[in-house]
Amino acid sequence: MFSACADPASLEGFSWLMCYLTTGKHIDFYWSFLTVLVLLVITAPTALAFGFGGAMAARSQVAPVRWLGKLYTAMVRGVPDIVFFLFFVIALDQAVEWTKHQIVCPGWTEPIRQGLEFRVCPQAKVPLGTSAQIWHQIYGFALAVFTFAIVFGAFAANVLYGAMNAVPRAQLETAEAYGLTHRQIFRRILVPQMWTYALPGLSNLWMILIKATPLLFLLGVKDIVYWARELGSAKTQAYAFPHPDWRLWYFLFLLVVYLCMTRVSEILLTRLTRRLSHGQATAAGEAMRRAAQ
């Protein structure tokens, strides 16, 4: 990166280390931290939206919708994450390309599935083979976000479903007695009250989501764990800065990073729990009232 680093053989000590840590590969390693953070920022609300929709479907008075909501939560929660990640991304990618193939290549006569190979016309590839590398990365990242959202949305749906059922029925009946419609009760009573009961479960899901980010490697996204393994490996003949096997130190660094992320999350979630529990008819709310006396 720097002109002084042009000849690694002439470097030693601190200068060697600084040049080693500023190579292009390490810059990609540093950027991968941003990739993980962006994944968390986008996936969390998306998964929550899937979960809210799944919980609402599971509570629906329409039987097919209720069955669909319960099937979604049961199926995704019952399949190991790694299996779902390996299967769903491939199936989703092929479904997108198959749909585009039917639109842009209606006269295609060759079979799309040829044994183990999946072949569509060049115009149906997503992204196109002529597209810049950045679009391939964005598409792969979008598939990763959608897959994470589907998986964690099912768990969030189960948490929100239980939280909605935990809201005291007396509060809903009182709202009905005051003449509120079902929509008003849902928006003004049920949803605001359920977050108090849902937050502990959602907090656990957030922690699990943080720890699940290394699964990005399975989805073709080069995350921080991928780069730690590559940069720490002793097979450094491809790099200008050979070194022994340093994977232990790289993974110890990631251990500290993940512990810091989870610790910060614990502090923020604890404060949010206290704020939501204030004035509520829950054990946490009762404890806060007694402490204030």
Contact 118, 112 (CB under 8 A): yes
Count of residues in the chain: 293
With H, G, I as helix, E, B as strand and everything else as coil, classify residue 117. Answer: strand
Superfamily of domain 3-292 in the CATH hierarchy = MetI-like (1.10.3720.10)
The single-letter DSSP state of residue 251 is H
The residues near 203 (Cβ < 8 Å, ≥ 6 apart) are 265, 269, 273
In angstroms, the CA 15 to CA 232 distance is 19
> pLDDT category, 59, cuts 50, 70, 90?
confident
pLDDT at 287 over 70: no
Q: Which tens digit of pLDDT belongs to each residue from 126-164?
A: 788 777 888 888 888 888 888 889 989 999 999 999 988
Residue 160: its pLDDT value, please? Answer: 92
The residues near 113 (Cβ < 8 Å, ≥ 6 apart) are 119
Mean per-residue pLDDT for 213-218? Answer: 80
- Is the model more confident about 194 or about 21? 194
Residue 196: its pLDDT value, please? Answer: 85
Task: List helix spans (H) across the chain.
Answer: 13-21, 24-58, 63-78, 81-104, 133-166, 169-177, 182-185, 191-212, 224-232, 247-277, 283-292
Residue 7: its pLDDT value, please? Answer: 62
% residues pLDDT > 70 (the chain)? 87
Burial bucket for residue 75 (CB in 10 Å: 0-12, 13-18, 19+) = exposed
Angle CA 36–41–44, to nearest 5: 110
Quick check: bond before 64 cis, omega within 30? no
Residue 291: its pLDDT value, please? Answer: 53
> pLDDT category, 51, cuts 50, 70, 90?
very high
Among 230, 268, 258, CA closest to 33: 258
pTM for the structure as a whole: 0.80
The residues near 2 (Cβ < 8 Å, ≥ 6 apart) are 19, 22
Radius of gyration (C-alpha) of the chain in whole angstroms: 25
> Which of 83-87, 165-169, 170-174, 222-226 has the weakest average pLDDT?
83-87
> Which of 39-43, 99-103, 124-128, 224-228 has the weakest average pLDDT?
124-128
- Is the model more confident about 283 or about 4? 4
Instruction: Say how many C-beta atoms besides its own lie within 10 A of residue 168's C-beta.
Output: 12
Among 16-30, 42-56, 73-87, the range with the most confident prediction by mean pLDDT is: 42-56
